[in-house]
Amino acid sequence: MTRWCLSGAIDAMNLNNENEYEELLSQWSDLESGLAVILHNPAGVLEFEQRVWQYDRWMQTLLQRDANVGLYLLFQLATNSPVGYSASHALVCAVLSHLIAIELKIGIRERDSLVHAAFTMNVAMTLMQDVLASQYDRPSSEQQSAIRAHAVKGSRLLETMDVADKLWIDVVSYHHDESTDSGELRAIAPVNRLARILRIVDRYAAMISPRKSRTGRSATDSARAIVSAGASSGSEIGHALVRTVGLCPPGTYVRLDTNEVAIVLSRSAKVNHPHVAIVIDDRGETLAQPRLHRTAEAPPLIQAALAASSVQSRLNHHLVLQLGAYAAKYA
């Protein structure tokens, strides 16, 4: 199996031409589409567990190829539309779980169980999850009952499909159980540790994602809410998340103190001062050519994070990511 090392890979951003960008975007889209197929009809999938392993290897390969571009595309995907919510949410949660597992130095076996649980935690309510993301009304009483039951129901469904990894199944069963919040993260049972990580990742990804009934929050506000709301162990996971993807992750928007709007490309050596591409000028006009800006080196500085819903401009993401490649090359 491909094993991905965070060091080095997180700094890569190499898109030499538009075809390469389109090919990489297509790979992530195909991964999400394949995941949607097995989540919407798990009982109809032959060798379900092996398919999840396949998607895990595919995800790791794409991250190893270019982690910043992967995060950029995922955050764009997660924060811009409620359509196909269940699969995009599962993919974002799996990627973040993978990165946090590396940051917290969690063992390979636990990492595997955590990521596979992230892919499948909502397998018992996939269709309803898509419906909930697209409806304006609050969940009905019937929907609320299904939400409360989905974790245990999902774990039983995985058992009926002959998933052999008991830890994976148990993490799905307990991923909403707040009793796993007690105890120091490294001292508790693996199932409690992984369920706690997954619950926090799930909450963060849900916060940044839009619904028909509400806009998504900015990634910065979501991260701060996760860190401040958790117990000490929850804060540890939240801080690991911020260290991994940044307070302003790739693919999210920020307003500069010049009133220009930029999209984040990658972290820099200075905490919370990422490389960005300025895409909208101080008059609100979209720039034909985005401008690279290193916030760690000179003004303007980031004034605030923005929710994706507040940016209506259509951007040429290939041009934006070319600036990211340049920033990484000459960092």
Q: Do the domain assignments include residue 26?
A: yes
Residue 159 has pLDDT above 70, yes or no: yes
Is residue 299 pLDDT above 90, yes or no? yes
**Domain membership flag for residue 134:** yes
216 and 257 co-located in one domain: no
Whether 75 and 170 map to the same domain: the answer is yes
Residue 54 within a domain? yes
Nearest one of 11, 198, 189 to 96, comparing CA atoms: 198
Tell me, what's the pLDDT at 20?
74
Residues 261 and 231 in one domain: no
Residue 213: predicted pLDDT: 61
Q: What is the pLDDT of residue 167?
A: 98
Asked if residue 9 has pLDDT above 50, the reply is no
pTM recorded for the entire structure: 0.89
Question: Within 10 Å of residue 316's Cβ, how many Cβ atoms?
Answer: 16
Round to whole Å and give the CA distance between 308 and 261. 11
Q: What is the mean pLDDT of residues 226-255?
A: 82
1 lies in some domain: no
Whether residues 263 and 177 fall in one domain: no
The 3-state DSSP class for residue 281 equals coil
Among the candidates 189, 211, 245, a domain finishes at 245
Whether residue 111 is found in the same domain as residue 212? yes
CATH of the domain at 237: 1.10.3210.10
Domain boundary among 188, 221, 245: 245
The pLDDT of residue 82 is above 60 = no
Other residues' Cβ atoms within 10 Å of the Cβ of residue 94: 29
Cα 128 to Cα 126: distance, rounded to the nearest angstrom: 5
Higher-scoring residue by pLDDT: 232, 319:
319
- Answer whether residue 115 shows pLDDT above 90: yes
Q: Is residue 316 part of a domain?
A: yes
Q: Is the pLDDT of residue 112 over 80?
A: yes
Whether the per-residue pLDDT at 5 is higher than 70: the answer is: no
Asked if pLDDT for residue 185 goes beyond 70, the answer is: yes
Res 211 pLDDT > 80: no
Domain annotation covers residue 281: yes
316 against 216, higher pLDDT: 316
Residue 225: its pLDDT value, please?
81
Least confident range of 3-7, 87-91, 206-210, 245-249: 3-7
Q: Does residue 49 sit in the same domain as residue 93?
A: yes
Q: With pLDDT > 70 as the criterion, what percentage of the chain qualifies?
A: 88
Same domain, 92 and 188: yes
- The pLDDT score that the predictor gives to residue 12 is 42
**pLDDT for position 2:** 32
Q: What is the pLDDT of residue 81?
A: 59
Domain final residue, candidates 201, 220, 245? 245
Averaged pLDDT of the chain: 86
Determine the structural domain holding residue 58 and report its residue range.
Answer: 6-245
The reply to whether 169 and 20 lie within a common domain is yes
Condensed to tens digits (0 to 9), the pLDDT of residues 245-293 reads: 888 899 999 999 999 999 999 888 787 899 999 999 999 999 999 999 9
27 and 157 part of one domain? yes
The pLDDT assigned to 6 comes to 33
Per-residue confidence (pLDDT) for residue 90, from 0 to 100: 95
Provide the domain count of the chain.
Answer: 2
- The Cα–Cα gap between 83 and 102 comes to 30
**Phi, psi (rounded to 5 degrees) for 167:** -65, -45
Residues 238 and 272 in one domain: no
What residues does 263 pair with on adjacent strands?
A: 253, 277
Is the pLDDT at 16 greater than 60? The verdict is no
The predicted-structure confidence for 37-66, as pLDDT tens digits, reads as follows 999 999 999 999 999 999 999 999 999 988
pLDDT of residue 7: 32
Question: Do residues 176 and 308 both lie within one domain?
Answer: no
- pLDDT higher than 70, residue 228: yes
> CA-CA distance, 194 to 114, in Å (whole number)?
6
Write down the pLDDT at residue 13. Answer: 47
Tally of residues, the chain: 331
Same domain for 117 and 178, yes or no, is yes
Share of the chain above pLDDT 90, in %: 52
Q: Quote the CA–CA distance of 304 and 261 in Å, as a whole number.
A: 10
